[in-house]
A = this chain, B = another copy of it.
Amino acid sequence: MSVTAPRGFRAAGVVAGLKDSGTRDLAIVVNDGPSRAAAAVFTRNRVKAAPVLWSEQVLKGGRVRAVVLNSGGANACTGAAGFQDTHATAEKAAELLVDSAGEIAVCSTGLIGQRLPMDALLPGVDKAVAELSRGDGGLAAADAIRTTDTVAKISFRQGEGGYMIGAMAKGAGMLAPSLATMLCVITTDADLPAEALDRSLRAATRVTFDRLDSDGCTSTNDTVLLMASGATGAVPGEDEFTALLTEVCADLTRQLLVDAEGASKAIAIEVVGAASEDDAVAVGRSIARNNLLKCAIHGEDPNWGRVLSAIGTTDAVFEPDQLNVAINGVWVCRNGSFGDDRDKVDMRPRDVTITADLSAGPHSATVWTSDLTADYVHENSAYST
């Protein structure tokens, strides 16, 4: 179902021939309305791929008729010619849908620094538009945007009053502050204006995708696009809609986390007792990015010293002798020194929870990361060769 779970959407995923593997590599999601209100958040990397630069312009209008997504090439760092390729992709889709290119978003993912083979991509758009459907299209589209993802990632939820939210996402590495190398398309048949969608999307991604940090690397292509068809006419309250949207984003965040490249552990870092939410996030991120700790977790070693060492590099409010750390519920560090017996920590489960108590205030935040493994190294040392 994925993005076609809500009414008013059709989708397709096809083989355009961009990937050497010969698997699906081009997707399209079309909003048949009556509304085409939309909002998006993009990577905060200052080196932005051509499709990000393009889609940022499209989204300024708050309306999206369709989005074309490709795997097999990021179209990043490809200069003016790369931007023209994105433009041509949007024009092609617009022509086939008899619509304006100015309301066609584009997303790309894959290797940076190579032009896309437009002689394969543009016929792929033809093929995808011809195959648009509400039935199988959603899953095929979710499949087509995969790169190193081992599984397609989809989610959907039913809201009060008969509306739905559906979504698909890809992302398996480079998951960092500004979302991830993730592409995500979220659809809804609720009827909400672009401004409300924008607020809801920022609120939902702030506590979900934005707090997933698999390897500290920020992609050039991250895009999360929310499109509303209004097909049910349902007008949910903004808080209720935001809550449901957050559920969908949290579900996908979890799927991205579990599928992170080479990961053998899914690590939740709960920072509590912080003087501010910003402090909690900064501390969580610092812990999430500590390679030595990530290796230790991989080795099932409850190495709380590396947690303290990571906390110590932040500007957060805390006193070193008031830090407490629990790993999987065992308070192995109390008052900045050793606490309960580390041998009591069961490190065998895939899920690992690190709780860091700063003893500095009432605020908290959770950041998710994965362990650092030899498989991660293998996967990322052979990516483009």
Residues of A in contact with B (beta carbons under 8 Å apart)? 44-48, 74, 76-79, 81-82, 111-114, 173-174, 177, 215-220, 289-292, 295-296, 298-301, 303-306, 308-314, 318, 320-321, 323, 333, 335-338, 372-374, 376-385
Contact = CB atoms under 8 A, between A and B. Distances in A.
Given A47-B323, A112-B303, A303-B384, 12 more contacts: A46-B318, A76-B308, A78-B338, A111-B305, A112-B306, A217-B306, A220-B312, A291-B376, A295-B381, A299-B383, A299-B385, A374-B377
Given A113-B333, A313-B46, A383 B321 contact: no
Contact of A336 (B77, B320, B377): B77
B173 A305 contact: no
A79 B339 CA distance: 11
A216 B384 contact: no
A338 B384 CA distance: 15
Contacts of A82: 337
Nearest to A81: B337
A285 B131 CA distance: 47
A337 B289 contact: no
A182 to B, nearest CB: 14
Given A216-B289, A313-B218, A338-B78, A296 B381 contact: yes
B380 A291 contact: yes
Contacts of A313: 44-46, 177, 218
A308 B220 contact: yes
Contacts of A305: 74, 76-77, 111-113, 220
A248 to B, nearest CB: 27
B309 A45 contact: yes
Nearest to A177: B313
B47 A311 contact: yes
Nearest to A173: B292
Nearest to A79: B337
A381 to B, nearest CB: 3
A310 B219 CA distance: 9
Contacts of A300: 385
Which 7 pairs from chain A and chain B are nearest by CB? A112-B305, A299-B381, A47-B312, A79-B337, A295-B380, A374-B374, A45-B312
Contacts of A76: 305, 308-309
